[in-house]
Amino acid sequence: MSESEVKADLNGTNGFAMPSFGFPKFALSGVLDELSEQGVARAREGCEKIKAASQEMAETLRETYSSNARSASDYGLKVIEISNANTASAIDFFVHLLGSKSATDVVTASAEQARKAFDTASAQNKDLWELAQKLATATGEPLRKHVAKVLHRDN
C-alpha cells in the first residue's frame, strides 16, 4: 500500500488510520466485532466462574466457622465441667481430712485421693483430647470437601 493510499484511507481520528490492506471495510469490522464479542463472552464467563467460586468459598467458610464454633463451645463446656468436678472432689477431700482422727487416716485418705485424682485426670485428658480432635476435624472437613469438589470439577 502506497503512502497516498494510506492518506486516502484516513478515518479522521487524529490524522491516523488503520490501513485496510485490501480487505473490505465491512468484512474487517465484522471480524473485529466477532472477536470483540468472543472476548466479552469469555470475560463474562470468567467473571461468572469467579463469582460462583467466591460464593462456594463463602459457604465453605460459613460451614467451617459454624462447626468450629460448636466444637469450641463443646470444648469450653467440658473444661468448665471438669473444673467443677475437680473443685468438688478437692473440697470433699479437705472435708474428709478435717474429720480424720489420726495421721494414718490422713496418709490413707491422701493416697486414695492421689490415686482417684490420677484416674480422673487421665479420663478427663482423654475426653479433652477427643474434643480437640473433633474440633480439628470439624474445622478442616468443610475445607477438605470444598478442595476435593474443586479438584474433581477441574478433571
How is residue 130 written as a grid cell?
A: 477427643
Interatomic CA distance for residues 1 and 20, integer angstroms: 9
How is residue 153 written as a grid cell?
A: 470439577
Taking 50 as the threshold, does the pLDDT of residue 14 lie above it? Answer: no
Per domain, the residue ranges of the chain are: 23-154
Q: What is the mean pLDDT of residues 125-132?
A: 93
The DSSP output letter for 84 is H
HEC per residue, 115-143: HHHHHHHHHHHHHHHHHHHHHHHHHHHHH
15: amino acid identity, one letter: G
Top mean pLDDT of 23-37, 54-68, 87-101 is at: 87-101
Q: What is the mean pLDDT of residues 36-60?
A: 87
How is residue 106 written as a grid cell?
A: 490422713
Q: For residue 9, which phi and psi values (nearest 5 degrees)? A: -95, 10
What pLDDT band is residue 12 in, cutting at 50, 70 and 90?
very low
**pLDDT tens digit sequence for 52-87:** 888 888 888 888 888 788 888 889 999 999 999 999
Interatomic CA distance for residues 129 and 96, integer angstroms: 32
What integer best gives the mean pLDDT of the chain? 81
16 three-state secondary structure: strand
